[in-house]
Chain A
Amino acid sequence: MLPNVYGFQWSAGHLIFLGAFFVVGTIIAITLAMALVRSLRDKGHKVETIRWKSEFGDLPERDRACRHQFDGRLPGRVCGNGFDCRLCAKHAEIAPGTAAAEPKERYHHRGHTWAQPQPDGTVLVGLDDLATSLTGTPERLDLPAPGTRVQVNGTAWRMERNGASARVLSPVDGKVVETGDSGRGWYLKIRPDNVDFRHLLRGREARAWLQREMDRMGALLPAPAVVGPTMADGGELVEDAAKAMPEADWDAVWGGLFLQP
């Protein structure tokens, strides 16, 4: 096997064969090593990005639908940017210009959080009605301590209930300044790094999307779909769907709701 081992000959056969063997071995080793080094080099901050990337990739296609499916402008398009329209050329050409965040307006994230710019330049982050109805009051809630950085599509906070647990995705980049809870209607007050909210949905677009989301969630819930007539037709959402039907597979529902495969 090696020149100093009995039986080795400096013949073409040996050199080619063993050469190939050692090359292959090295390639495998190097590949492993590279992956290992890369993963070690990263000191945690990339985790959120990677997690979202890999989980987004694992989402069923229909859950990755492009927002412009809802307004019918790009039917059947599947998002390839992890719902970050700020990076999407297509989006730029369809909805040009930066939508400067207007105070009091709720900007919806595909993960069923909303961001509401405050006059003081901070942003309130909370769960939309659908999510609220489907989560009710969480049994466990761990919010990030003030000062923690959050990033778009990264984990904002975690909740647990009926054995279902979820990471709620943050709609904005920024630093947590204050924490709320389900009672106060919002969970986090964040000082955003920027007010570029192009990746968030608002107004009609948001309603169309929410409408669709209800059907989507409905499919995950045992019939009859208890999510009643939606806000659009002035309907009311069940106060606490979770309490209403403990038999549902809440783990799956939350997974669908908060985009976690």
Chain B
Amino acid sequence: MDKELIIRGVRRASMGRFLLWLVPWAALLAFGVYAAGLCLYKGLGETNMDNRFAFGLWIFLDLSVIALGAGAFFTGFLFYILKKKELKAVINSAVVIGFVCYSGAVVVLAVDVGQPLRAWFTFWHPNVHSMLTEVTFCITCYLGVLAVEYVPILLKNRKLREVPRFLVFEWELHRLMYVLAAVGTFLSFFHQGSLGGLYGVLQGRPFAFREGFALWPSTFFLFILSAMAVGPSFMVLTTSLVQKITRKALVKPEVMQEMGRISGILLIVYVLAKTVDTLVWINSTSPSLGFPAHRFYASGPFGTWILFAEIVLFGLVPALILLSRDRRARMPWLISAASLACCGIVLNRFVMTIQTQAVPSLPFLPFVTYTPNWQEVGTFLAVVAYGVLVYSISFRYLPLFPQEKDLAR
């Protein structure tokens, strides 16, 4: 029934099956919206956050999601600026994923703050010394950029491109896309960084505090690096996932491997930097603030194993796999390496957000734990559902994978 909306020559599930796929996600979305509504209507007392855990699940997920969404800007950067033409195969998909991640993150932030109606104060009366200001400005701008980048993909829809004006606009916009790609790279560079800075500047939290260059603590650069390293891995992951679900070849394996390679190179650099940073922190930064580093790993489930997992298991191991040609040539290896890398960055963001608050800062305070309640989880699931919906619909009606047709034959 929606045939004339679907690109010529690609196979798509019947409308019925497609709807069947959407329904559960839509239901999840509805549930999450209700949960979020509760928090907005009754206040954040509805959540399990408290004065010790001022930041909870939401901030952690925002950080993770934005880090994973970095695939969008980085792929754009490689494609438009460094002219890596083979990435044309995934650029559209990357943009959609980026858009989903960022818009989702922004929505959750709106629920997370106590007074969303005053959100614009940050723009009107900004404190330019705050990392959070930097984050807010950059993310909002970049979300705008992503939206603009999304437009041409939208206009490539078979029906829409029939409209001459759209066709021309898409064409003209697309010709200028490298400008947006450049801007997006600039913005992402800063907000990925300032997300790291967010915690790195907290002198009152020696667990997170890091020395750095100028106004930026080392975490600023580590976050950028890790985001760029994992972005392509996440693209590999999502692409192969879509391929699994749709049972179609969408992207040439070479492209996947190329992304894996890029991921690997950056990852190894990151691991090295992270190791150096950790050593400096343990031996100088933390003790000089009066906190022997071992104190942080003494209490609760957060032992030194976290450090190992972060640096070796989820850092070094995937990096090495991705760097060896014949390993990454095999899909299972490539994918498991990519997923390891993604886990790594998620764990890193978890340590930064949750563990930082779990370890007591005053010597007589106890170690406390926190578990999100259904309102928080629900709100998060809503974002996931929203993402799946947007992506599914885009995948059905928009040319996300130009190589699909070639591979279909």
- Chain A positions within 8 Å of B, measured between CB atoms, are 1, 5-7, 13-14, 17-18, 21, 24-25, 27-28, 31-32, 34-36, 38-39, 42, 44, 46-47, 50-51, 53-54, 58, 60-62, 163, 219-220, 249, 251-252, 255-256, 260-261
Q: Are B126 and A50 in contact (CB under 8 A)?
A: no
**B157-187 interface (Cβ within 8 A of A):** 161, 164-165, 167-173, 175-176, 179-180, 183, 186-187
Given the interface pairs A5-B125, A13-B129, A21-B137, the reply to whether A31 lies near B176 with Cβ below 8 Å is yes
Give the distance in Å from the alpha carbon of A14 to the alpha carbon of B130 in the complex.
12
Residues of A within 8 A of B164 (CB): 44, 47, 51
Q: Are A54 and B167 in contact (CB under 8 A)?
A: yes
Q: Are B183 and A24 in contact (CB under 8 A)?
A: yes
Shortest Cβ distance from residue A61 to the other chain B in the assembled complex, whole angstroms = 6
Q: Does B13 sit at the interface, judged by CB under 8 A?
A: no
Give the distance in Å from the alpha carbon of A220 to the alpha carbon of B8 in the complex.
12
Q: Does B378 sit at the interface, judged by CB under 8 A?
A: no
Q: Are A261 and B405 in contact (CB under 8 A)?
A: yes
Given the interface pairs A21-B137, A39-B165, A60-B405, the reply to whether A255 lies near B148 with Cβ below 8 Å is no
Q: Identify 10 new A-B residue pairs, CB closer than 8 A, beyond the known A31-B180, A38-B172, A261-B405.
A: A17-B128, A17-B137, A28-B144, A31-B173, A44-B164, A51-B161, A51-B164, A53-B171, A60-B406, A255-B9
Most buried by A among B8, B134, B165, B180: B8
Give the distance in Å from the alpha carbon of A5 to the alpha carbon of B125 in the complex.
7
- Chain B positions within 8 Å of A, measured between CB atoms, are 3, 7-9, 123-129, 133-134, 137, 141, 144-145, 148, 156, 161, 164-165, 167-173, 175-176, 179-180, 183, 186-187, 399, 402, 405-406, 409
Shortest Cβ distance from residue A16 to the other chain B in the assembled complex, whole angstroms = 8
Residues of B within 8 A of A28 (CB): 141, 144-145, 148, 180, 183
Shortest Cβ distance from residue B96 to the other chain A in the assembled complex, whole angstroms = 17
Q: Are A24 and B141 in contact (CB under 8 A)?
A: yes
Shortest Cβ distance from residue B158 to the other chain A in the assembled complex, whole angstroms = 9
Q: Are A6 and B125 in contact (CB under 8 A)?
A: yes
Given the interface pairs A35-B172, A50-B167, A51-B167, the reply to whether A62 lies near B406 with Cβ below 8 Å is yes
Look across to chain A and name the residue whose beta carbon is closest to the beta carbon of B120: A1
Q: Are B145 and A18 in contact (CB under 8 A)?
A: no
Give the distance in Å from the alpha carbon of A220 to the alpha carbon of B10 in the complex.
11
Give the distance in Å from the alpha carbon of A14 to the alpha carbon of B129 in the complex.
9
Residues of A within 8 A of B9 (CB): 220, 249, 252, 255-256, 261
Give the distance in Å from the alpha carbon of A155 to the alpha carbon of B406 in the complex.
25
Q: Which of A32, A62, A255 contacts B8 (CB 8 A)?
A: A255
Residues of A within 8 A of B175 (CB): 35
Give the distance in Å from the alpha carbon of A219 to the alpha carbon of B170 in the complex.
32
Give the distance in Å from the alpha carbon of A58 to the alpha carbon of B172 in the complex.
16
Residues of B within 8 A of A251 (CB): 3, 8
Q: Are A17 and B141 in contact (CB under 8 A)?
A: no
Q: Which of A5, A163, A256, A261 contacts B7 (CB 8 A)?
A: A261
Residues of B within 8 A of A53 (CB): 171
Shortest Cβ distance from residue A75 to the other chain B in the assembled complex, whole angstroms = 18
Q: Are A39 and B169 in contact (CB under 8 A)?
A: yes
Give the distance in Å from the alpha carbon of A255 to the alpha carbon of B158 in the complex.
12
Give the distance in Å from the alpha carbon of A58 to the alpha carbon of B399 in the complex.
9
14 intermolecular pairs with C-beta atoms under 8 Å apart: A14-B128, A24-B186, A27-B183, A28-B145, A31-B148, A31-B180, A46-B168, A58-B156, A58-B399, A60-B406, A251-B3, A251-B8, A252-B9, A260-B8
Look across to chain A and name the residue whose beta carbon is closest to the beta carbon of B404: A60
Residues of B within 8 A of A163 (CB): 3
Q: Are A54 and B170 in contact (CB under 8 A)?
A: yes
Look across to chain B and name the residue whose beta carbon is closest to the beta carbon of A1: B124
Residues of B within 8 A of A31 (CB): 148, 173, 176, 179-180
Give the distance in Å from the alpha carbon of A34 to the alpha carbon of B183 in the complex.
16
Q: Are A50 and B187 in contact (CB under 8 A)?
A: no
Q: Are B169 and A36 in contact (CB under 8 A)?
A: yes
Residues of A within 8 A of B176 (CB): 31, 34-35
Residues of B within 8 A of A32 (CB): 148, 173
Q: Are A252 and B125 in contact (CB under 8 A)?
A: no
Residues of A within 8 A of B123 (CB): 1
Residues of B within 8 A of A6 (CB): 125
Residues of A within 8 A of B170 (CB): 54
Given the interface pairs A1-B125, A47-B167, the reply to whether A219 lies near B179 with Cβ below 8 Å is no
Look across to chain A and name the residue whose beta carbon is closest to the beta carbon of B122: A1
Q: Are B172 and A13 in contact (CB under 8 A)?
A: no
Look across to chain B and name the residue whose beta carbon is closest to the beta carbon of A167: B162
Q: Which of A17, A42, A220 contacts B168 (CB 8 A)?
A: A42
Give the distance in Å from the alpha carbon of A11 to the alpha carbon of B144 in the complex.
28
Shortest Cβ distance from residue B401 to the other chain A in the assembled complex, whole angstroms = 12
Give the distance in Å from the alpha carbon of A50 to the alpha carbon of B173 in the complex.
12
In the complex, the 8 A-B pairs of residues with the closest C-beta atoms, listed nearest first: A255-B8, A39-B169, A35-B173, A17-B128, A7-B125, A39-B168, A252-B9, A35-B172
Look across to chain B and name the residue whose beta carbon is closest to the beta carbon of A249: B9
Given the interface pairs A35-B173, A50-B171, A54-B167, the reply to whether A21 lies near B3 with Cβ below 8 Å is no
Residues of A within 8 A of B161 (CB): 51, 54
Give the distance in Å from the alpha carbon of A128 to the alpha carbon of B135 in the complex.
61
Give the distance in Å from the alpha carbon of A14 to the alpha carbon of B126 in the complex.
9
Look across to chain A and name the residue whose beta carbon is closest to the beta carbon of B129: A13
Shortest Cβ distance from residue B290 to the other chain A in the assembled complex, whole angstroms = 29
Residues of B within 8 A of A18 (CB): 126, 128
Give the distance in Å from the alpha carbon of A17 to the alpha carbon of B131 in the complex.
12
Shortest Cβ distance from residue A230 to the other chain B in the assembled complex, whole angstroms = 20
Give the distance in Å from the alpha carbon of A86 to the alpha carbon of B104 in the complex.
50
Shortest Cβ distance from residue A148 to the other chain B in the assembled complex, whole angstroms = 16
Shortest Cβ distance from residue B340 to the other chain A in the assembled complex, whole angstroms = 34
Look across to chain A and name the residue whose beta carbon is closest to the beta carbon of B402: A58
Q: Are B183 and A17 in contact (CB under 8 A)?
A: no
Most buried by B among A27, A34, A35: A35
Look across to chain B and name the residue whose beta carbon is closest to the beta carbon of A32: B148
Q: Are B172 and A34 in contact (CB under 8 A)?
A: yes
Look across to chain B and name the residue whose beta carbon is closest to the beta carbon of A46: B168
Q: Are B406 and A39 in contact (CB under 8 A)?
A: no
